[in-house]
Structure 1
């Protein structure tokens, strides 16, 4: 029983150990002979030796995919804060403070739009663009459904001369 527990913990700490350990798979004697030296060296250290940059890159990509989404600004409804061509990193979580820039679904189409969150209720949000003369927002369309909020624009990563945090902008 304790052997299974230690093997299970090792497999969690190193997902690649399954490639090195075929002893739990019946009928793979050929692989056992071929990989026996590799298996012995892997078992001796009981650790997974992946290059740190590979682990860091994989963790960064996974976090970005799970918690963030990238967008490009099209149009001028958020000028001067955001310009056409600005690229944003949007955090996909709730609990967004009022006065922050958000991305939400346009209820009239399947497009995503970027606006400033000004008010919210239990089920809806009131948003406006920073450029009132060029923005179609809650002043014309009323409250937007809260479930349509994609996330909070937290960082502008392009163009290089405008890179920086959007929190508090």
Structure 2
């Protein structure tokens, strides 16, 4: 094979290579800036999300600097460096400027008891905090931070342990569970 036939095969191969490079670049951009998959590492969000569930989190809001709303389930970088889990999944309970308290196993935000039908167990301050963290209740969430708690309150190291989470640590807001198929659906 010489001449135009060989040249057209190379041209076709280069076109396909170009298509794959562009497709990969688009996929990478979407994964970094729009939507990313995450595997839930612990049982702290049970029964809402189970250990090993795989979820999608939209990242656009975090990149735009939008603060998640109270009740949103978010993926964030663990503020405690000595933890085995780099990424955590918890629910936003309070935003900057709000006051969090726990009385008789119930969470109060700005003096109002939260209605949390998804919670398992009672909500009490934890007996220990992370090294260098000291939390007194009622607690006012500092500017640029969120108060996060797991739905499985008796089995969750959350803001009661590591304090308020800087909004810069938020990676994305969970919106869809894609695995296991038996529980697939929006969150």
TM-score bracket for this pair, using the shorter chain length: 0.5 to 0.7
Task: Give me the TM-score of the superposition, normalised by structure 2.
Answer: 0.55
Please report the TM-score for the alignment, with normalisation by the length of structure 1.
Answer: 0.61
Counterpart in the other structure of 2:177? 156
Hey, what does 1:13 align to over in structure 2?
none
1:82 CA displacement: 0.4
Which portions of structure 1, spanning 4 or more consecutive aligned residues, are displaced by more than 4 angstroms? 57-60
Q: Please point out which of 114, 127, 132 is paired with 2:89.
A: 114
Tell me by how many angstroms 1:112 deviates. Answer: 0.7
**How many residues align structurally?**
124
Structure 1 position 141 matched with structure 2 position 158: no
- How far is the alpha carbon of 1:61 from its aligned partner? 3.0
- Distance between the aligned counterparts of 2:69 and 2:24, measured in 1? 30
What root-mean-square deviation, in Å, do the aligned CA atoms of Structure 1 and Structure 2 show? 3.3
CA distance in 2, matches of 1:58, 1:137: 36
Greater Cα offset, 88-97 or 70-79: 88-97
Between structures 1 and 2, the one with greater strand share: 2
Partner of 1:161: helix, strand, or coil? helix
Q: 1:78 aligns with which of 45, 67, 78?
A: 45
1:61 aligns with 2:27: yes
Partners of 1:148 and 1:138 in 2: CA distance: 13
Gaps of 5+ in 1: 1-32, 39-49
Question: Which secondary structure state, in structure 2, belongs to the residue aligned with residue 70 of structure 1?
Answer: strand
Deviations 1:75-99 (A, max 9, x none): 1100000001100111113332220
Q: How does 1:1-169 map to 2 (within 5 A)?
A: 61=27, 63-93=30-60, 94=62, 95=66, 96-109=68-81, 111-121=86-96, 122-166=143-187
The Cα of 1:140 is off from its aligned counterpart by 2.4
Change (3 A) 1:60 1:159: farther
Report how far residue 141 of structure 1 moved. 2.2
Alpha-carbon distance change, 60 to 81 in structure 1, aligned in 2, over 3 angstroms: farther
CA distance in 2, matches of 1:65, 1:139: 30
Question: Per the alignment, in what secondary structure is the counterpart of residue 103 of structure 1?
Answer: strand
Contact 2:79/2:162 (<8 A) preserved: no
